[in-house]
Chains A and B, each alone.
Chain A
């Protein structure tokens, strides 16, 4: 046989079936491009020098895995359409005397051609758009980058390996399908059609159970730590559950509809329900993918925009005042009133050069320890802790003891307390007992619940709920905790004095003051009093915050574009390929007496269901994901539920509009194909 025989046959095969192959090749090109871009960003110098590049890199790494797995599933899915259509042609070759080996060669060449086109075009577009992506990233977080076009060989290597492997698998899959079928079955395969799947009760119910469990987890989780632990489990459960429900559950649902004769035998339900059940098994996977993608897009966009717009909030709760000073002490004696006064006057010496109005100074001492709360008993010593009792992290609290004097001074009150009494303020939780007792460290009667205490960065930073106890004698209280110590004998209880104030200065002056305070402590050693001392300036950290949160938003947008692109491709491809299949069916229906209007109506009802099922699914997922994501956002000091609700709702509306647009376009394409069936027998 001539040398170019097989390549030519393979090429002709692709050319003649271009209606089917062009979307497939486009899909491959798109997947290669997306994968390249994301791995390019992962290895990009620009990203490495970003603040928080570690987080961004690991997120990109996760993203590249998601795309890789997704590409694999999706290409198999689309490839199965192709093979079905090609089987007839291959069967003919087989009957005309071509062996399975020869057909294998044709398939090999076909795979090679498609792989070559996809990788070449995909990488080309990848190079072109990766720079754009990089510039966008640098721009969003206000950092400079060079404008030279760069190519990442690591990323190319990864892309080639991944897609090489996928194409090899696809080839073997096609080969397997040809190998195990006889010539006759190959010839007929297109006509056989898929058997309408039997409604699988087991899988359908399993899917609903898994989904329900995931929803339950998402709703019932109360604290951020558990949220973080359970989040990925919940995500996987939702993915699995969605696939099962869409694949098996939807068939079940259609079967039930079919049983209801009054509903089923109506002109607009009859055709759409039967054709949905006919291809739901195959459709289900596609719909589930679209649903999952839509959910991911919505979750990413809503949470990252929330982070971005909540940046200021987060900054303020992390740095309650413009200048925040924090001193740690070794013993309760060290933080006596005299010592604190000395420290305070040091600060005032530095700040008097600046024209500042010391507005609302936070000036208070605390003693802080973590403990496990059971009913009204607290165990702070980890060596006594019974870990088997520890149901969840939600029982762990941070306890802050505050001297009554400091409290009265700050809040302008004149509370009085007896020796064993305390005022209680609970942050991010409730506490309804009358007393609280610390094992081996005394107990307090709660004289009064107070509903407000100054915002503290510390409590905001901590992921666990906090309790503030205003106590009459801090020295005595601390003494009681002396025995609760680390192995090296140092106390577990943390002693500190905070002095936070607003300056009313502009940004440059604030940073200047901050630097002067820093240098004061470098030059003047006051370490006789305190163990360690921190100074933090809100102005100085603002850029960092915006860099990090802007980076997150950018990543969210990039991944969303990728996923939306993929979802649109799935929808479009599905509609087009189904349009060709349905053409013949609608032709028959027209012959039997269906009017064009009825056809249009039936198509609409079918498309509406198929299209908006994933959107509804995504909306449901999003609604249930809301509480758990909100908990996760707490870790970024974001407690503004309203903001998150607003960004979520806006994201959903924008996405729904975009989705409807895609629906309009593809349904027109579909209708044109279907009604292109000429009026003839």
Chain B
């Protein structure tokens, strides 16, 4: 069963006075099954961020449809977009996007508070997640009092606490050192395998992509290629991704 279906997605940006048109996404088609861990790779300017913005309902597509859990995102009303996002999606950002005004605990609660949940329920949900992510000790601290890796784990907890259908991660390791990156990726794998959480991660790090089940490559606004993990280990997948990227780079020159 697929949780996300993207069909013929196209996005055209116009420059300020409507003169030049830039086609960020030409024709993107793919689907994500329940419980999958998909990585999307591509160079800068390949349209990754545009794609993620449309998937997150933060931006509108020009043509095509995005069907998430049976709802067409492109047709959803503006007024209910935020609520939809809150109920169905979890976000992990490159720069954490934690609020300095809240403690780590309150930051994690934020989406639940907005959904009107009681403190008791929120607390019951938080405890197992915090324990799994290893941030139980940090809950009373403020974001600027903890390290980058800890902040990102808090952000993951915030994304998971609503039990979203899909977690969207935008370069989650981008602002982390390699050790913190490794820990975070391990967490993603665990959450994916143990809980069956569907994750869609945009990255340009081969290391990050190599922990996914499937890797999509985007080039010039189209899905160019994809690799399934199959029975490969992380190492083997890493190698395959590197090879594909090399091919893409050289192949790109030829075209």
Residues of A within 8 A of B (CB): 191-193, 195-196, 261-262, 265-267, 270, 274-275, 277-278, 585, 588-598, 679-681
Which of B100-108, B182-190, B213-221 lies at the binding interface?
B100-108
* Given A591-B97, A592-B158, A593-B83, also A261-B119 (CB < 8 A): yes
Interface status of B33 (Cβ within 8 A of chain A): no
Chain B residues contacting A594 (CB-CB under 8 Å) are: 82, 86, 114
Interface status of B109 (Cβ within 8 A of chain A): yes
Interface status of B249 (Cβ within 8 A of chain A): no
Interface status of B58 (Cβ within 8 A of chain A): yes
Residue of B nearest to A598 (CB): B114
- What's the minimum C-beta distance from A260 to chain B, rounded to whole angstroms? 10
Interface status of B6 (Cβ within 8 A of chain A): no
16 A/B residue pairs, CB under 8 Å, sorted by A: A192-B144, A261-B119, A265-B118, A266-B113, A275-B101, A589-B99, A591-B85, A591-B91, A592-B86, A592-B91, A593-B82, A593-B85, A593-B86, A593-B87, A593-B89, A593-B115
- What's the minimum C-beta distance from A587 to chain B, rounded to whole angstroms? 8
Interface status of B170 (Cβ within 8 A of chain A): yes
Chain B residues contacting A591 (CB-CB under 8 Å) are: 56, 58, 85, 91, 93, 97
A679 touching B100, Cβ below 8 Å: no
Interface status of B245 (Cβ within 8 A of chain A): no
Chain B residues contacting A265 (CB-CB under 8 Å) are: 109, 113, 117-119, 122
Residue of A nearest to B164 (CB): A593
Chain B residues contacting A275 (CB-CB under 8 Å) are: 101
A679 touching B110, Cβ below 8 Å: no
Q: How many A-B residue pairs have CB under 8 A?
A: 86
A270 touching B110, Cβ below 8 Å: yes
Chain B residues contacting A274 (CB-CB under 8 Å) are: 99, 101-102, 106
Residue of B nearest to A602 (CB): B114
Chain A residues contacting B238 (CB-CB under 8 Å) are: none
B113 touching A270, Cβ below 8 Å: yes
Chain B 51-65, CB-CB to A under 8 Å as 1, else 0, gives 011001011000000
- What's the minimum C-beta distance from B8 to chain A, rounded to whole angstroms? 22
B82 touching A193, Cβ below 8 Å: no
- Taking A589-B99, A592-B91, A594-B82 as known contacts, 13 extra A-B pairs with beta carbons closer than 8 A to each other, sorted by chain A number, are A196-B142, A266-B113, A267-B113, A270-B109, A275-B101, A592-B97, A592-B158, A593-B83, A593-B89, A593-B111, A595-B82, A595-B83, A679-B58
Chain A residues contacting B142 (CB-CB under 8 Å) are: 195-196
- What's the minimum C-beta distance from B101 to chain A, rounded to whole angstroms? 4
A680 touching B58, Cβ below 8 Å: yes
From A195, A589, A593, A681, give the contact of B49 (CB < 8 A): A681
Residues of B within 8 A of A (CB): 49, 52-53, 56, 58-59, 79, 82-83, 85-87, 89, 91, 93, 97-102, 106, 109-111, 113-119, 122, 142, 144, 158, 170
B101 touching A585, Cβ below 8 Å: yes
- What's the minimum C-beta distance from B44 to chain A, rounded to whole angstroms? 15
Chain B residues contacting A592 (CB-CB under 8 Å) are: 86, 91, 97, 110-111, 114, 158
**Counting chain A CB atoms within 10 Å of each CB, which of B52, B89, B99, B102 scores highest?**
B99
A193 touching B100, Cβ below 8 Å: yes
**Counting chain A CB atoms within 10 Å of each CB, which of B82, B109, B115, B122 scores highest?**
B82
B101 touching A270, Cβ below 8 Å: no
> How long is the Cα–Cα vector from A445 to B53 in the complex, in angstroms?
97
B110 touching A589, Cβ below 8 Å: yes
B93 touching A681, Cβ below 8 Å: yes
- What's the minimum C-beta distance from B94 to chain A, rounded to whole angstroms? 9
B158 touching A267, Cβ below 8 Å: no
**Counting chain A CB atoms within 10 Å of each CB, which of B52, B101, B118 scores highest?**
B101
Chain B residues contacting A680 (CB-CB under 8 Å) are: 53, 58-59
Chain B residues contacting A266 (CB-CB under 8 Å) are: 113, 116
**Counting chain B CB atoms within 10 Å of each CB, which of A195, A274, A590 scores highest?**
A274
Question: Which 7 pairs between the two chains have the least Cβ-Cβ distance?
Answer: A593-B86, A595-B82, A278-B101, A261-B119, A193-B100, A588-B97, A270-B113
> How long is the Cα–Cα vector from A679 to B53 in the complex, in angstroms?
9
**Counting chain B CB atoms within 10 Å of each CB, which of A191, A265, A278, A598 scores highest?**
A265
> How long is the Cα–Cα vector from A651 to B115 in the complex, in angstroms?
44
> How long is the Cα–Cα vector from A196 to B142 in the complex, in angstroms?
9
> How long is the Cα–Cα vector from A680 to B52 in the complex, in angstroms?
10
> How long is the Cα–Cα vector from A274 to B119 in the complex, in angstroms?
16
Chain A residues contacting B56 (CB-CB under 8 Å) are: 591, 681
Chain A residues contacting B100 (CB-CB under 8 Å) are: 193, 278, 585
Chain A residues contacting B79 (CB-CB under 8 Å) are: 595, 597
Chain A residues contacting B86 (CB-CB under 8 Å) are: 592-594
- What's the minimum C-beta distance from A676 to chain B, rounded to whole angstroms? 16
> How long is the Cα–Cα vector from A598 to B79 in the complex, in angstroms?
11
Residue of B nearest to A275 (CB): B101
- What's the minimum C-beta distance from A184 to chain B, rounded to whole angstroms? 14
Chain A residues contacting B122 (CB-CB under 8 Å) are: 265
Chain A residues contacting B158 (CB-CB under 8 Å) are: 592
- What's the minimum C-beta distance from A377 to chain B, rounded to whole angstroms? 67
Chain A residues contacting B101 (CB-CB under 8 Å) are: 196, 274-275, 277-278, 585
From A261, A589, A681, give the contact of B170 (CB < 8 A): A681
> How long is the Cα–Cα vector from A266 to B116 in the complex, in angstroms?
7
- What's the minimum C-beta distance from A506 to chain B, rounded to whole angstroms? 72
B82 touching A590, Cβ below 8 Å: yes
- What's the minimum C-beta distance from B18 to chain A, rounded to whole angstroms? 18
**Counting chain A CB atoms within 10 Å of each CB, which of B49, B59, B98, B113 scores highest?**
B113
A681 touching B53, Cβ below 8 Å: yes
Residue of A nearest to B79 (CB): A595
> How long is the Cα–Cα vector from A481 to B86 in the complex, in angstroms?
92
- What's the minimum C-beta distance from B162 to chain A, rounded to whole angstroms? 8
B144 touching A267, Cβ below 8 Å: no
> How long is the Cα–Cα vector from A673 to B115 in the complex, in angstroms?
26
Residue of A nearest to B102 (CB): A274
Residue of A nearest to B170 (CB): A681
Chain B residues contacting A261 (CB-CB under 8 Å) are: 119
Chain A residues contacting B144 (CB-CB under 8 Å) are: 191-193
> How long is the Cα–Cα vector from A315 to B112 in the complex, in angstroms?
69
* Given A592-B111, A680-B58, also A270-B97 (CB < 8 A): no
- What's the minimum C-beta distance from A254 to chain B, rounded to whole angstroms? 11
> How long is the Cα–Cα vector from A680 to B49 in the complex, in angstroms?
10
Chain B residues contacting A193 (CB-CB under 8 Å) are: 100, 144
Chain B residues contacting A597 (CB-CB under 8 Å) are: 79
* Given A265-B109, A278-B100, also A596-B58 (CB < 8 A): no
B85 touching A588, Cβ below 8 Å: no
Residue of B nearest to A258 (CB): B106
> How long is the Cα–Cα vector from A193 to B109 in the complex, in angstroms?
21
B118 touching A585, Cβ below 8 Å: no
- What's the minimum C-beta distance from B212 to chain A, rounded to whole angstroms? 20
- What's the minimum C-beta distance from B85 to chain A, rounded to whole angstroms? 5
Chain A residues contacting B52 (CB-CB under 8 Å) are: 681
> How long is the Cα–Cα vector from A592 to B114 in the complex, in angstroms?
9
**Counting chain A CB atoms within 10 Å of each CB, which of B110, B111, B170 scores highest?**
B110
- What's the minimum C-beta distance from A333 to chain B, rounded to whole angstroms? 86
Residue of B nearest to A585 (CB): B99
- What's the minimum C-beta distance from B1 to chain A, rounded to whole angstroms? 25
B106 touching A267, Cβ below 8 Å: no
- What's the minimum C-beta distance from B56 to chain A, rounded to whole angstroms? 7
Residue of B nearest to A596 (CB): B82
Chain A residues contacting B53 (CB-CB under 8 Å) are: 680-681
Residue of A nearest to B91 (CB): A591
Chain B residues contacting A267 (CB-CB under 8 Å) are: 113-114, 116
- What's the minimum C-beta distance from B60 to chain A, rounded to whole angstroms? 9
Chain B residues contacting A277 (CB-CB under 8 Å) are: 101
> How long is the Cα–Cα vector from A660 to B106 in the complex, in angstroms?
33
**Counting chain B CB atoms within 10 Å of each CB, which of A278, A588, A589 scores highest?**
A588
